[in-house]
Structure formats: C-alpha cells, structure tokens
Structure 1
C-alpha cells in the first residue's frame, strides 16, 4: 500500500477519473449522466466529492452535501461512499468518512447522516461497528411515472 491522500474533486476531468470507482456503487449510471448529475448537484446543492488516492490512483470516493431538515436541523448528508472492490478492507472508507466528519465539524454541522441499501450488510456493519453510526430509520422510495 502506497501513500494515501484525500482531495476534493472539483472539475469535470477529476469527476471522470473517479467514475470507474463510483460506477461500482452507482451501477445504473453511464458516464455522461453521472457527469451531468454531479455538475447539477454541485451548482444547486453544494455537493462535494472527495477521492482517496493510494499511490496516485483513486481507490475510494465519497459525495456529500449540507442539508437542512426539520428532523435533523443542519446536517451533512453522505450521498455516496464507495471503495474500489480490489482495495477494500484497507481503511479507505474510514479515512474518507472521517474526512467528511471533519469537514462537517469545521463548517458548523453537528450531524452526519446517510442511507445504505438493504442488501449491503457489510456496509451496515462498517457504519455501525467501525464508524459508530446509529440505525434510526428506513428510507422509502416511490418511483413516479
């Protein structure tokens, strides 16, 4: 394992570099749709994307944004967190999520929240056991036609 660094990705070229890793989580997205959504989310919702580099290679990515709801007040919503399949169990997710926690604290947010697919049991163990998150609700989705 080489030296790891974390960097905010702010350009379309950087987002494209992160796409192969993000695609492992967001399998339904093609690159053009992904770029369009990241661009719109950055402009409208202050979405931020961080990448963890190991030896110069992007091996993990997270996307998050500040939000305000009556339930949570001011908080950070983690939209995406994924580590490349071949680089898992090396604390990359922990480092990225800890960086989000630090960003939240530095910017006056006292809460970080996320959702995780029901099938992602390893991710649930990671959030609850390693990162000390509490399971507080279910997320429901209804597709509109």
Structure 2
C-alpha cells in the first residue's frame, strides 16, 4: 500500500533525494537542501509517495503562482520517479493528487515545463489532458 505525503522535515527531504536526483542529476544533497530551504519561502512544496517498504519511488515538487496570462495556478517544478519504479503508475498518482488539489482550491490551472526529449512524460501529461501551449526559452547568465 502506498501513501502520498507532504515532505516537511529535513529527514523527509533527504528521503526524497533518490527520486529528485533521478530528474536533477546536477544537484548534490547539500545544494538540494539549501535550495529547498530557499524555495519553501516561495511556496514550494514537495510531495512524495511512500511505498510499503518505506521507500520513496516518486516525488512531485510544486509551487503556487499567479500570472496575468493564466491566473492562479499550481506550477509543477519537479515530477520524478526512480528508474526501477517507472511504469508502475506513481507519477500518474502524483499528477492526479495535484489535479485534485488545484480543483479543491478552485485554482485556474496547472502548468509545467518538460524537456523536449522526455517522451514518456509527455505521453502521461497528454493522457491527463494537459495541453502543449508554449515553447519555453531561457538564458543562462552565470554559467
């Protein structure tokens, strides 16, 4: 039996490390924890699935945002499943959790960006009725 939980403590954030690092291999545990501390001040929340063994196969990190073009939304920063747990429906469960959360809070929508090469993720998003509505552009300044 799996449970969906909010991470609230450093121990819970560390418990989510393997799932986060599967999506964000550029991070170290130290800068991950420092970034989490900073992002919590920007409404970032991390939700995880805990399996029957107490392991964390998947996580979703999100924040609340308000933008002129789309109103009040949940923006998903991170949705990740460890490689050995892919295809078991964990990401789908977490996405359903976020959809329910947005509906309960009467928000205007859910948004996320996804790397162009993440075909399996795109299939999931399209199956959940998300639409491809934009291209994302970025400029790295300090790299």
The total of aligned residue pairs comes to 141
CA distance in 1, matches of 2:8, 2:99: 19
- Give the match for residue 65 of structure 2: 67
Render the CA deviation track for 1:8-35: whole Å, top value 9, x for unaligned. Answer: 0011111011011100000110001001
Shift of 1:107: 2.0
In 1, distance between residues paired with 2:38 and 2:109?
24
CA RMSD of aligned residues (A): 0.9
Which residue does 2:83 correspond to in 1? 85
CA distance in 1, matches of 2:100, 2:63: 13
Describe how 1:1-145 pairs up with structure 2 within 5 A.
3-43=1-41, 45-55=42-52, 56-128=54-126, 130-145=127-142
Deviations 1:20-76 (A, max 9, x none): 110000011000100111111112x11111001111211100000100111111111
Q: Structure 2 regions of 5+ residues with no counterpart?
A: none
Query: Alignment partner of 1:63: what SS?
Result: strand
Distance 1:131 1:108 in 2: 18
Task: Tell me how far apart the structure 2 counterparts of residues 125 and 104 of structure 1 sit (CA, whole Å).
Answer: 21
Distance 1:65 1:110 in 2: 14
Secondary structure of 2:15's counterpart equals helix
> After TM superposition, what 4+ stretches of structure 1 lie above 6 angstroms from structure 2?
none
SS in 1 for 2:132: coil
Aligned partners of 1:84 and 1:54: how far apart in 2?
13
In structure 2, distance between residues paired with 1:39 and 1:135: 31
Task: Using structure 1 for the length normalisation, give the TM-score.
Answer: 0.94
